[in-house]
Amino acid sequence: MTIHNTFAELGYYIKYSVQNASTHGNIPQERSRTFIVAFSDLDMMSKFTFPEEISLTVGIEDIMNRTVKQDDFFYYPPDNKYYDVLNRKIPDKTGIYRIDDSGVATHKYTLSPTLKANMGTYHDRVPIIRDDFGIRKLTPYECLALQGFPSVFRFQDIPIEAAYKQCGNTVCVPVVRRIAERLSHVF
52-88, pLDDT tens digit by residue?
999 999 999 999 999 999 999 999 999 998 899 899 9
- Give the residue among 50, 23, 35, 21 at the shortest CA–CA distance from 167: 21
Angle CA 131–80–31, to nearest 5: 55
- Give the residue among 137, 142, 176, 186 at the shortest CA–CA distance from 51: 176
Write the burial class of residue 172 (CB in 10 Å: 0-12 exposed, 13-18 middle, 19+ buried). Answer: buried
- Give the residue among 132, 126, 53, 73 at the shortest CA–CA distance from 96: 126
- Give all domains of the chain, ordered by start, each with its CATH number: 2-57+172-186 (no CATH), 60-169 (3.90.120)
Contact partners, residue 104, CB within 8 Å, separation at least 6: 82, 85, 86, 89
Q: What does the pLDDT read at residue 91?
A: 86
Section 137-164 average pLDDT: 95
Q: What does the pLDDT read at residue 120?
A: 83
Q: What does the pLDDT read at residue 172?
A: 97
The pair phi, psi for residue 130, each rounded to 5°, is: -105, 135
Paired sense of beta strands 128-131 and 103-104, if any: unpaired
pLDDT confidence band for 105 (50 / 70 / 90): low
Average pLDDT, the chain: 92
pTM for this prediction: 0.92
Section 93-109 average pLDDT: 78
The one-character DSSP state at 115 is: P
Q: Please state which of the ranges 17-26, 75-84, 140-149 shows the lowest mean pLDDT.
A: 75-84
Answer yes or no: are the C-beta atoms of 166 and 146 closer than 8 Å. Answer: no
Section 74-103 average pLDDT: 88
Neighbours of 71 (CB within 10 A): 9
pLDDT at 108 over 80: no
pLDDT at 42 over 90: yes
Q: Which helix (H) or strand (E) holds 19?
A: strand 13-20
Q: Please state which of the ranges 8-17, 102-111, 135-144, 167-176 shows the lowest mean pLDDT.
A: 102-111
pLDDT confidence band for 4 (50 / 70 / 90): confident
